[in-house]
Amino acid sequence: MGKMSGAEAILECLKLEGVEIIFGLPGGVLLPLYDAIYDSDIRHILVRHEQAAAHAADGYARATGRVGVCLATSGPGATNLVTGIATAYMDSVPLVAMTGQVPTNLIGKDAFQEADITGITMPVTKHSYLVKDAKEIPRVFREAFYIARTGRPGPVLIDLPRDVTVNELDFKYPEINLPGYSPNLKVHNLQIKRAAAALMEAERPVIYVGGGVKYSDGHRELVGLAEKIKAPVTTTLMGIGCFPEDHPLSLGMLGMHGTKYANYAIQEADLILAVGARFDDRVTGKVASFAPQARVIHVDVDPAEIGKNVRVDIPVVGDAKSALAELAKAVEEKPWSPWNDKVAGWKNDHPLGYARDGETIKPQAVLEMLCRLCPEAVIVTEVGQNQMWAAQFFTHGDPRRFISSGGLGTMGYGFPAAIGAKLGCPDAEVFDIAGDGSFQMNIQELATAVINDVAVKVIVLNNGVLGMVRQWQDLFYEKRFSGTTLNRIPDFVKVAEAYGGLGLRATKPSEVEGVLKEAIDSDVVTVVDIIISPDEKVSPMVPAGASLSEILELEKVDQAAGIQRSYPGYPASEVLELEG
Amino acid sequence: MKHTIALIVENRPGVLVRIAGLFSRRGFNIDSLTVGATDNPDYSRMTIAVDGDEVVLEQVTKQLNKLINVIRVSELDPAESVERELAMIKVAARKEDRSEIMQIVSVFRAKIIDVSPRSMIIEVTGSQDKVEAMVRLLRQFGIKEMARTGKVSMVRGTKVVGP
Give the pLDDT score at A404: 98
Is B160 within the bounds of a domain?
no
Residue B108's closest CA among B92, B93, B125?
B125
With an 8 Å Cβ cutoff, the interface of chain A facing chain B consists of 118-119, 122-123, 126-127, 130, 147, 178-181, 302-304, 307-308
Total number of domains in chain A: 3
Verify that A48 and A194 share a domain, yes or no. Answer: no
The Cα-based distances of A235 to A397, A459, A576 in angstroms read: 12, 24, 23
The three-class DSSP label of residue B135 is: helix
CATH of the domain at B48: 3.30.70.260
Directed axis angle between helix A338-349 and helix A260-268, to 10°? 150
Does residue A569 lie within any of the structural domains? no
**Residue B60 falls within a domain, yes or no?**
yes
Does pLDDT of B115 surpass 90?
yes
CB contact under 8 A, B68 and A119: no
Residues A327 and A403 in one domain: no
Cα–Cα distance for residue pair A4/A12, rounded to 1 Å? 10
Determine what percent of chain A is predicted with pLDDT higher than 70.
98
- Residue A183 domain-assigned (yes or no): no
Q: Which residues fall within 8 angstroms of residue A396, CB to CB, at 6 or more apart? A: A240, A241, A244, A245, A379, A402
Task: Tell if the CB–CB gap between B25 and A123 is shorter than 8 Å.
Answer: yes
pLDDT at position A1:
67
A-interface mutation test, from B10, B58, B68, B72, most A Cβ less than 10 A away? B68
Q: Residue A306 sits in a domain of what CATH number?
A: 3.40.50.1220
> Domain check: are B63 and B15 in the same one?
yes
Of A305, A324, A349, the domain-final residue:
A349
Are B72 and B86 in the same domain? no
CA distances from A492 to A433, A440, A571 (A): 14, 10, 45
- ipTM metric: 0.89
- Residue B121: what pLDDT? 97
**Per residue, what are the HEC states of A17-41?**
CCCCEEEEECCHHHHHHHHHHCCCC
Say if A399 falls within a structural domain: yes
SS3 A519: helix
What strands lie across the sheet with A205-209, from one edge to the other? Answer: A250-253, A233-235, A205-209, A271-275, A295-300, A314-317
In this structure, the answer to whether residues B61 and B92 fall within a common structural domain is no
B95 and B146, same domain (yes or no): yes
Distance between A472 CA and the closest CA of chain B, angstroms: 29
CATH of the domain at A408: 3.40.50.970
Of B76, B104, B131, at which residue does a domain stop?
B76
- Residue B99 sits in a domain whose CATH number is 3.30.70.1150
Digit-coded pLDDT (tens) for A159-210: 999 999 999 999 999 999 999 998 878 899 999 999 999 999 999 999 999 9
Q: Are strands A155-161 and A127-130 parallel, antiparallel or unpaired?
A: parallel
pLDDT tens sequence across A11-37: 999 999 999 999 999 999 999 999 999
Integer Cα distance of A24 and A74 in angstroms: 12
What average pLDDT score do residues A112-118 get? 97
| Whether B68 and A302 lie within 8 Å, measured CB to CB | no
Q: pTM, whole model, 2 decimals?
A: 0.94
Q: How confident is the model at residue A569 (pLDDT cuts 50, 70, 90)?
A: confident
The stretch A387-392 carries a mean pLDDT of 98
Q: B46 and B30, same structural domain?
A: yes
Residue in A with minimal Cα distance to B42: A179
pLDDT-derived band at A564, boundaries 50, 70, 90: confident
- Residue B27 resides in a domain: yes
User: Do A237 and A200 belong to one domain?
Assistant: yes
Residues A155 and A293 occupy one common structural domain = no
Which of A243-252, A348-357, A365-374 is predicted with the least confidence, judged by mean pLDDT? A348-357
Q: A575 pLDDT exceeds 80?
A: no
- In terms of CA atoms, which chain A residue is nearest residue B56? A308
From A318, A349, A380, give the residue that closes a domain.
A349
Q: Check residue A184 and give its pLDDT.
A: 77
Whether residues A337 and A445 share a domain: the answer is: no
Does residue A545 lie within any of the structural domains? Answer: no
Query: Whole domain around residue A72: which residue ranges?
Result: 3-170
Q: Return the residue in A127, A139, A146, A182 with the most chain B beta carbons within 10 A, the one to mutate for interface testing.
A: A127
Domain boundary residue, one of B34, B53, B76: B76
* Residue B55 is assigned to a structural domain of this protein: yes
Are residues A341 and A363 both part of a single domain?
A: no
pLDDT digits (tens, 9 = 90+) for A441-474: 999 999 999 999 999 999 999 999 999 999 999 9
Tens digit of each residue's pLDDT (9 = 90 or more) over A69-100 = 999 999 999 999 999 999 999 999 999 999 99
The answer to whether residues B95 and B147 belong to one domain is: yes
Whether A247 and A330 share a structural domain: yes
DSSP bridge partners of A3:
A170
Tell me whether residue A510 is in a domain.
yes
The pLDDT value given to residue A458: 98
Q: Burial level of A504, CB count in 10 A (0-12/13-18/19+)?
A: buried
CB contact under 8 Å between B17 and A307, yes or no, is no
**Cα angle at A50 between A46 and A51, to 5 degrees?**
125
Chain A residue with the nearest C-alpha to that of B73: A180
Same domain, A297 and A445: no
Question: For position A571, what pLDDT does the model report?
Answer: 66
Round the CA-based radius of gyration of chain B to a whole number and report it. Answer: 18
**Residue B158 included in any domain:** no
Whether the pLDDT of residue A573 is over 70: the answer is no
Looking at the DSSP bridge assignments, the partners of residue A155 are A95
Q: Are residues B93 and B61 in the same domain?
A: no
- Domain assignment present for residue B24? The answer is yes
Question: Do A327 and A389 have their domain in common?
Answer: no
Q: Is the pLDDT of residue A563 over 80?
A: no
Q: Do B70 and B92 reside in the same domain of the chain?
A: no
Per-residue pLDDT band for A579 (boundaries 50, 70, 90) equals very low
Rounded to whole angstroms, the Cα distance separating A332 from B113 reads 75
Same structural domain, A25 and A162: yes
Mean pLDDT computed over B46-51: 93
Q: Where are the beta strands (DSSP E) in B66-118?
A: 70-76, 81-92, 111-115
Q: Is the pLDDT of residue A520 over 90?
A: yes
Distances (CA, A) of A356 to A359, A555, B75: 8, 11, 60
The per-residue pLDDT for A580 is 39
In a domain, A558, yes or no: no
Q: From chain A, pick out residues whose CB is under 8 angstroms from the CB of B59.
A: 304, 307-308
**Tell me, what's the pLDDT at B43?**
96
Question: B152: alpha, beta or left, given left = phi > 0 and alpha = psi -120 to 50?
Answer: beta
Q: Using DSSP, state whether A429 is helix, strand or coil.
A: coil
User: Which residues of chain A are within 8 Å of residue B69 when distances are taken between CB atoms?
Assistant: 180
Length of chain B measured in residues: 163
Question: Is B69 inside any structural domain?
Answer: yes
Mean pLDDT of chain A: 95
Predicted local confidence at residue A572, as pLDDT:
60
Same domain? B116 vs B60: no
- With CA atoms as reference, report the closest residue to A90 among A115, A118, A124, A137: A124
Mean of per-residue pLDDT scores for chain B: 94
According to DSSP, the β-strands at A295-300 and A250-253 are unpaired
- Within a domain: residue A160? yes
Query: Which of A303, A330, A349 corresponds to the end of one domain?
Result: A349
CB contact under 8 A, B17 and A304: no
Which DSSP letter does residue A452 get? Answer: T
- Which of B49, B76, B103 is the last residue before a domain boundary? B76
The per-residue pLDDT for range A253-310, each reduced to its tens digit, is: 999 999 999 999 999 999 999 999 999 999 999 999 999 999 999 999 999 999 999 9
Of B17, B62, B69, nearest to A180 by CB-CB distance is B69
Question: Which residues of chain B lie closer than 8 angstroms to A181, CB-CB?
Answer: 68
> Do A129 and A159 lie in a common domain?
yes
Q: Say yes or no: A378 and A516 in one domain.
A: yes
For chain B, what is the domain count? Answer: 2
Q: Which domain range does residue B67 map to?
A: 2-76
- Residue A108: its pLDDT value, please? 95
SS3 B105: helix
- By C-alpha distance, which of A528, A373, A391 is closest to A461? A528
Average pLDDT in the A25-51 region? 97
A443 occurs within a structural domain: yes
